Amino acid sequence: MRDLLRPSGAVLAVAIALALSARASVDDAQSFALQAAEPYVKEGFQVREDYWGGDLGAGEKKAVRQQLFKGNEYWFWLGTEVEKAKVSVHIYDSEGKLIEQPDSWQKGHFAAAHIVPKATGSYFIIVTVEDSPEERTHWALVYGFR
Amino acid sequence: MISLPRLLKFTAAATAGLTLCAHAAEAPKHIDVKQLSRNVEDVVVPLPNEIFGALNKLGGVNWREYVRNDKGNNFTERPRIALLLGSVIADGFIAVQAEDAPTVKDIGQRVLNLAKGIGVGNSITPHAKAITEAADKRNWVNVRQELDRTQNSVQKAMNEVGDQKLSQLVSLGGWLRGTEVLTAVVNQRFSEDGAELLRQPDLLSYFHTRLQGMPEYNMKLLTDIQDALVQVKPMIDVGQGKISPDSVKRINEITTRLDGEIVTR
C-alpha cells in the first residue's frame, strides 16, 4: 500500500510544483499588466484586483467576456513577462464589431485597449500573443474604470 | 561623424517608427462572436461601485438613504456567510458613496468577523486595518481600493482551499445588494439610462449556471435566488428594447426580498 502511495505522492508533488510555477508566471505577467496600468491610476482609474490570465502559443488568441456599463470609461491592460514577446488586446461589442478608442496601443510585451461604451452590456476582449520566442507565453489582463 | 541633416532625418525616422509601434496592431474590424463563445474565459464580476459610479453620473443620488449599518445575524452555514460577506462589502461601497466614515469603519470590522467565520480572517486583517485608516483620513479612493482588495483576498483564500463555490457566492451576494440599490435609485427617479444599467443578461446566466453547480448546498435561500434569476432574466434581456419602469420596480422587490433573506434568519 505504502509503495503504491509513494509514486502518486511524487506525482502530486510534481503537479503542485508545476501548478505553482505556472501560477507564479501568470502572477509575473500580472505585475507587467499592472505596470502598464500605473500611469492611468493617476488619472483617476480604479484598477480591479481581479484579473484574467493564462498562457498562449504564438499566434493564439483568447477571448474574455466582460460586462461594461454606459457612463463609465474603461481601459484593459495586457502584459507578459516574456520581454521579447509581442502581445495585443482589442475590444469588440456583442455583435463582433471592433469598438475600441483610437488611443488604444501596443508596445512589445504590453498592450492596452480603451473603451467608452455607448451601451451597457457584454463586450468581448480579445487577447493575442502575436509573436514570442517561448513555446507558451504567460499573459495577464487587468482592467480599470472611472 | 553624422551631419546634422542626417541626424535630424534619422531622429524623424526613429520617432515615426516608435509612433507606429505604439499604435495598436491592425485588428479585424469584425469578428464572429459565435465562434468565440466556446472559448471564453470566466467573467470578472463587476464591483458594485462600478455600477454606482455610472449611476452617479446620471444625477445626484442621495447615497445616505441607502447606507446600511446593521450588525446583522451571525450564521454558521458557510454558504450563507459567503453571501452575507458579499452583501456587506457592497454596503461598504455604498457607505463610501455616502462618505460615511463611521459606517465604513464598522463595515470593515464586520467583514473581518464574517471572514473569520469561514476561516479566512487572516487574509483580511490587514485590509480591515487599511479600511479604518483610510476612512479616518476620508481617503475614499483608498477605501474603495481596499474594499476591492478585501473581496479579492477573501476569494483567493477560498480558492486556495478549494472553496471556489463559496467564492462565487461572495460575488453573488455583492451583486444582489448592488442590484437592489441600483433598482431602488432608478425606481425613485426613473430614467432610461439608469434602467439600462440593469442590462446584464450574461452575468445573470453566469450566476445561474454557478448555482446549478452547487447541489450540495441544499438551502432554500439558494433555490430562491436561482428562481429569482430566472424571473429577472426576461425583464433585462430585452434586445433592442428598453427596460421598463415596471421591470425596475419588480426587480427591486425581488432583490430586496432576497437580500432580506441573506441578512436575516
pLDDT of residue B73: 73
Range of the domain at A93: 2-145
Q: Is B205 on the interface with A (CB under 8 A)?
A: no
| Residue A70 in contact with partner chain B when CB distance is under 8 A | yes
Q: How does A61-94 read in b/e, with b if 16+ C-beta sit within 10 Å? A: ebbbbbbbbbbbbbbbbbbbbbeebbbbbbbbbe
Instruction: Please write the tens of the pLDDT for every residue from B197-248.
Output: 999 999 999 999 999 999 999 899 999 999 999 999 999 999 989 999 999 9
What digits encode the pLDDT tens for the residues A43-85?
Answer: 999 999 999 999 999 999 999 999 999 999 999 999 999 999 9
Q: Supply the CATH number for residue A53's domain.
A: 2.60.120.380
Say which DSSP state A39 is in.
H
Q: B51 and A69: CB-CB below 8 Å? A: yes
Query: Which of A67, A97, A143 lies at the smallest CB-CB distance from B200?
Result: A67
pLDDT at B33: 82
Please state, in angstroms and as integers, the Cα–Cα distance from residue A38 to each residue in A34, A143, B233, following that order.
6, 11, 37
Query: Rounded distance, CA B56 to CA B104, Å?
Result: 19
End-to-end CA distance of chain B: 84
- Quote the minimal CA–CA distance from A112 to chain B in Å: 8
Question: What pLDDT shows up at residue A13?
Answer: 53
Residues 47-66 of B with CB under 8 A from A: 47, 49-51, 53-55, 57-58
Check residue A98 and report its DSSP letter.
B
* pLDDT above 70 as % of chain A: 84
ipTM tops the 0.90 cut: no
Q: Which residues of B touch A52 (CB under 8 A)?
A: 41-42, 44
Element (H, E) at A143: strand A137-145
Q: How many domains does chain A have?
A: 1
Chain B residue whose CA is closest to A112: B24
Hunting for cell 493617476 — which residue is that? A42
DSSP class of residue A49?
A: S
